[in-house]
Structure 1
Amino acid sequence: MRQPEKKRRTVGIRGQLMWFLCFICLLLLVLFWFLCTQLLEPLYTTHIQKQLTEQADAIVQKLDDAIADGQTLSYWGFGSQLYVNSQFFNQLSSEIYENGGMSSFCVDISDVTLRQIFKVENLSYCNLHRTRPTDENSELPSYSTARAMRQLCRETGSCVRKINPPTPSGTVELMVGRTTSDGSYTVLVTTSLMHVSEAGEVMSTVLPLAAALIFAFSMSAAWLFSEWFTKPLRQLSGAARQVAQGDYAVQVETNRRDELGDLAQEFNHMAKEVQHAAQMQRDLLANVSHDLRTPLTLIKGYAETVRDITGDDKAHRDEQMNIIVDEADRLTALVSSVMELSKVTSGAEKCEKVHFDMGQLCDEVSERYDAVCAQNGWQLKLELPEEELPVYADPNMMQRTLHNLLGNAMHHIGGDGIFLLRASKVPEGVRVEIEDHGPGICAEDLPYIFDRYYRSRSDAGKQGTGLGLSITKAIFQQHGFRFGVQSTLGKGTTFWFIATDTK
């Protein structure tokens, strides 16, 4: 047999998984680099600004409370001498250090004249209190950065600014300014942003090495994960090739408790069903071949006898010709049953479903058995309700199933010569039962009674094709109807099915 040509495969599932995991790793590394290099400084600056704002608001609140209590915080004496409330500011300084955590902040408090009345300088080099010339080539007096920031804060009420260093060796500082409620004092709080640049430099140094280590680890993890993930798929692929080569007994491991484990279980179930179907096909061919050989042998033998011996003896010739006709009819029935089963199971014969009354169909079918019952002294009892029994099915197929089941009941009719056909309404639809009072079926035979060419031990040697119940099963499955059989040895058997009225 010619093997199917394999399609050229570029990248397998394992390769695709590795590419996907590597892509995710690279994407995460790029995202981490972006966070470290592009968002670190804005986020860090926002955090520092929040701290500076809290400290400035706390100091302004202290000043507002002191002014509301009528305390004099500062005044100008003779000769432009500045006097401050040392007790208040010493207490303020202690509270700043104890509660505010101002070890790395610089504080500047000024009055309406923009002159400084209090200062806490904890930075080694504070841009706020250093002067720088307006122009490097100018001889004009230098101006105070602090004075400019105080003026800006008084004009705006509050401000946030970055103060650049006056010399290249300095660092950029962040300043937050606030004004008291009455506008008497201005508070400036500032700190260095040197740690931001240092963190950026450290991340720039560490990031390449970290990226290399993470990528190497990701590659190893991707290789191991793809090996673990694709192992059951490779097992399924190998098992499928074995099934294609005719080894239907192959099974795969089902230890996983996920979708791949479910797939393995479904594959094992499929392999069992294929094995069972193949065995049934072999049994069918063997049994059909045997049944075909028997009538063909008889036909040939009696035909030769008529030709060679009894050609002139009319009585013997007619008897032998009748045997030939009977065996030809038997052969025709067997071939017809095989063809009918093939059409139904392959789907070549489609269901033509319509709405009809199952009770009326049962009544019509039962009338066909009046003659054979009268001839053999049998009785077919029909039990139907007065109400209609609507179903949605193919009437011709349902008629065929009734004939198959009634014919099976006649072959196993009991000593009382009675078999029954009853139909009743149930919540699911219409339940139809065919009952006989024959010898019954063994419990071990019941699961296989609908299989192709299966015959129970009690049927051995009886006439019939052995395909009627298989055809009936295929019709029920095509309609989606539930069906089954109940039997008790020595009392009889009941075949049943439930027809629905839904599309």
Structure 2
Amino acid sequence: MRQTSKTRRTIGIRGQLMGFLCFICLLLVGLFWFLSTQLLEPLYTTHIQKQLTEQADAIVARMDEAIGKGETLSYWAFGSRLYVNSTFFNALRDDIFELGGMSSFCIDISDTTLRQIFKVDTLPYCNLHRTRPTDTADEQTAYTTARAMRQLCRESGGTVVRKINPPTPSGSVQLMVGRMTSDGNYTVLVTTSLMHVAEAGKVLSTVLPLAAALIFAFSMSAAWLFSEWFTKPLRALSGAARQVAQGNYAVHVDSVRNDELGDLAQEFNHMAKEVQHASQMQRDLLANASHDLRTPLTLIKGYAETVRDLTGDDKKHRDEQMNIIVDETDRLTALVSSVMELSKVTSGALKCEKVHFDMGQLCDEVSERYDAVCAQNGWQLKLEIPDEELPVCADPDMMQRALHNLLGNAMHHIGEDGIFVLRALRCPEGVRVEVEDHGPGISAEDLPYIFDRYYRSRSDAGKQGTGLGLSITKAIFQQHGFRFGVHSTVGKGTVFWFIMTDTEDAAAQ
């Protein structure tokens, strides 16, 4: 099945990254080509048209201002002799050049006779005026073109935008904007050449294939290096996962990255450490359970054979040996029951039925069951609860089991004073419950593992018990979402604590 998955996987993450990056680069190159070849000319033309319009409007505004003041800009004498206001037009010429903007342009001002009265031409070759005619035919064409544009402007009501095509193939297209003065006596045409955008388009068309090839080569190299850098921690994690699958739980993944992949590597190392610890605990559980099961079974078998073969008729010895068999059977039953209970709680088979109740009352009821054993052994269970109600939301049966496990653990480690304490009090989060003993305490090296399954500290070696009580208690608290822990001082005693809430939405710690 593993070989089949490898066979089906034709493109890995590295190949996908390279493909994606190359696609993005090609998309950007295509977008640049589209903008430079398809949108360059329209955008450039729109920009030039805006400049021409502003210039034409400025000229018309100056002329309207002069006409409003009663100035005469031009007139024809004897039908063919033109007289112009030289002072006005010279000032207008100076103002036009002071405005700056376009370096090459042509301005044509005509009157109602469609004849030119003023001109500014900085174009090397003007399609409107043909400042460099090559022959009489070109000159006539230029005259016809200028007159036609002036007529078009007057017919359109004073506003016209047109492209003037060249009369010869070698010429360049010009853009023209026309305006009329407010009194309708003068027409202003402003034109400029669009030769530069055409030349730019040709240059881009020549350079773009080479640029695209270089960009593609660069993108391939960058994609290869990036994919190598990006997938390196993933390959390391994959190799480490294979080692864990083969049973090497001591594997460690080195990562210095401060991103999600670095977090993943740290989480993997934490997982491997926990799996290693769980595996060790499983081996310890099997070893300890095997030992604890073997001992009562050996005793039961040995005493049963003794009763059968030797002391069957001796009632006194037979009863003693039968009592040992019963005690060992009870011990074996308790061990099996604890294992089954732990399995049910941790697997979720034993559901948590939460209800609202008074934790102080439950503590009081549980403490009463230890009166007999305390009186028999000379111990004292101190119950410290407030007079007020301690409302909580939990499963009462599970909480009762947890208290019994903690109190039973305290009795196994009771101090020389014979006192252990059950305490419940209010806290900001809800209700804090503590079980305290004055026994030998727990060493710092054993403290982190005290709730683990079948874990026994060195001081507990050889003591009676299944070793699963605290593990069952931990599972109960986790199922409820309660915070819990333990504080201990060697030689002074231990305090097990947990915090209960009065709501059903308890957050697991």
TM beyond 0.5: yes
Q: Separation in 1 of the partners of 2:142 and 2:498? A: 107
3-state DSSP of counterpart to 1:421: strand
- 1:479 corresponds in structure 2 to 480
SS in 1 for 2:432: strand
Query: Does residue 382 of structure 1 match 2:355?
Result: no
| Contact 2:159-2:179 within 8 A present in 1 as well | yes
Q: In the TM superposition, what whole-angstrom CA distance separates every residue of 1:297-331 from its partner, at most 9, and x where no partner exists? A: 22222223333333332222221221122122112
Whether 1:235 aligns to 2:236 is yes
Does the CA-based 8 Å contact 1:55-1:100 persist in structure 2?
no
Cα distance in 1 for partners of 2:297, 2:4 equals 43
Residue 226 (structure 2) aligns with: 225
Q: CA deviation at 1:5?
A: 6.2
Give the whole-Å Cα distance in 2 for the aligned partners of 1:79 and 1:285. Answer: 125
2:122 aligned partner, one-letter code: N
The amino acid of 2:111's aligned partner reads D
- Residue 362 of structure 1 corresponds to 363
Report the Cα distance in structure 2 between the residues aligned to 1:495 and 1:97, rounded to whole angstroms.
Answer: 93
Given the superposition, is the C-alpha separation of residues 497 and 169 from structure 1 closer, same or farther in structure 2, using an over 3 Å criterion? same
Query: Which letter maps to 1:89?
Result: F
Counterpart of 2:168, as a letter, is T
Residue in structure 2 matched with residue 104 of structure 1 by the alignment: 104
Q: Where does structure 2 lack aligned partners over 5 or more consecutive residues?
A: 132-139, 505-509
1:45-90 Cα offsets, whole Å, 9 max, x none, are: 0111112122222322332343345443222222521112334333
* Equivalent AA in structure 2 for residue 399 of structure 1: Q
AA matched with 1:36: S
Q: Aligned partners of 2:209 and 2:2: how far apart in 1?
A: 52
1:137 corresponds to: none
Query: What letter matches 1:154 in structure 2?
Result: R
- Mean CA deviation greater in 423-432 or 176-185: 176-185
Alpha carbons 1:406, 1:434 under 8 Å: kept: yes
What is the match of residue 50 of structure 1? 50
In structure 2, do the counterparts of structure 1 residues 415 and 203 end up closer, same or farther at CA, with 3 Å as the change threshold? same
Percent of aligned pairs with the same residue? 85
Equivalent-residue separation in structure 1 for 2:194 and 2:425 (angstroms): 90
Question: 1:267 maps to what in 2?
Answer: 268
Q: Identify the residue that residue 461 of structure 1 maps to in structure 2.
A: 462
1:275 Cα offset (Å): 0.5
Corresponding residue number in structure 1 for 2:66: 66
The offset of 1:102, in angstroms, is 5.2
Give per-residue Cα distances to partners, 1:357-387, cap 9 Å, x unaligned: 2222222222222222222232222222233
Within-5 A mapping of 1:482-493: 482-493=483-494
Amino acid at match of 2:341: E
Matches within 5 A, 1:72-471: 72-101=72-101, 103-129=103-129, 144-155=144-155, 156-471=157-472
Structure 1's 149 and 217: CA in aligned 2 closer, same or farther, altered over 3 A? same
Which digits, 9 at most, give the CA deviation of each residue in 1:335-362, with x for residues without a partner? 2212222222232322222222222222
> Aligned partners of 2:266 and 2:251: how far apart in 1?
12
CA distance in 1, matches of 2:82, 2:355: 109
Write the distance in 1 (CA, Å) between the matches of 2:415 and 2:141.
131
Q: Which runs of 5+ in 1 are unaligned?
A: 132-139
Letter in 1 for 2:349: A
- Tell which deviates more after alignment, 84-93 or 470-479: 84-93
* Corresponding residue for residue 507 of structure 2: none
Instruction: Report the Cα distance in structure 1 between the residues aligned to 2:180 and 2:375, rounded to whole angstroms.
Output: 119
The Cα of 1:208 is off from its aligned counterpart by 1.6
CA contact (8 A) 1:380 1:419 kept: yes
RMSD of aligned C-alpha atoms?
2.3
Q: Is the 8 A contact 1:441 1:489 kept in 2?
A: yes
Q: Is the CA contact 2:128–2:142 (under 8 Å) kept in the aligned structure 1?
A: no
Instruction: Give the C-alpha shift of residue 117 in structure 1.
Output: 0.8
197 and 281 in structure 1: CA distance in 2 versus 1, 3 angstrom threshold: same
CA deviations on 1:439-491 (whole Å, 9 max, x unpaired) are: 32233332222122222333222111111111111111121111111223333
Corresponding letter in the other structure for 2:498:
F
Assess, with a 3 A threshold, how the Cα gap between structure 1 residues 292 and 415 changes in structure 2: closer, same or farther: same
Match of 1:134 in 2: none
TM-score normalized by the length of structure 1: 0.92
Paired AA for residue 45 in structure 2: T
Quote how far apart the aligned CAs of 1:143 are: 6.6
C-alpha spacing 1:123/1:447, structure 2 compared with 1 (3 Å): same
The residue aligned with 2:134 is none
- What TM-score, normalized by structure 2, do the two folds share? 0.91
Q: CA deviation at 1:499?
A: 1.2
Distance 1:340 1:182, change over 3 A: same
Deviates more, 1:382-391 or 1:185-194: 382-391
CA distance in 2, matches of 1:318, 1:214: 96
Aligned equivalents of 2:374, 2:462: Cα separation in 1: 23
2:137 maps to which residue? none
Contact 1:96–1:102 (Cα < 8 Å) also in 2: no
Q: Tell me the equivalent position of 1:135.
A: none
Q: 2:52 corresponds to which letter in structure 1?
A: L
Equivalent residue of 1:380, what SS? strand
Contact 2:141/2:167, CA 8 A, preserved across alignment: no
Aligned-residue offset at 1:26:
2.0
Secondary structure of 1:128's counterpart equals coil
2:5 paired with 1:6: yes
Give the secondary structure class of the aligned counterpart of 2:9.
coil
Equivalent position SS for 1:129: coil
Cα displacement (A) at 1:418: 2.4
C-alpha separation in 2, matches of 1:161 and 1:339: 94
Alignment check: 8 A CA contact 1:434 1:495 kept: yes
Secondary structure, aligned partner of 2:5: coil
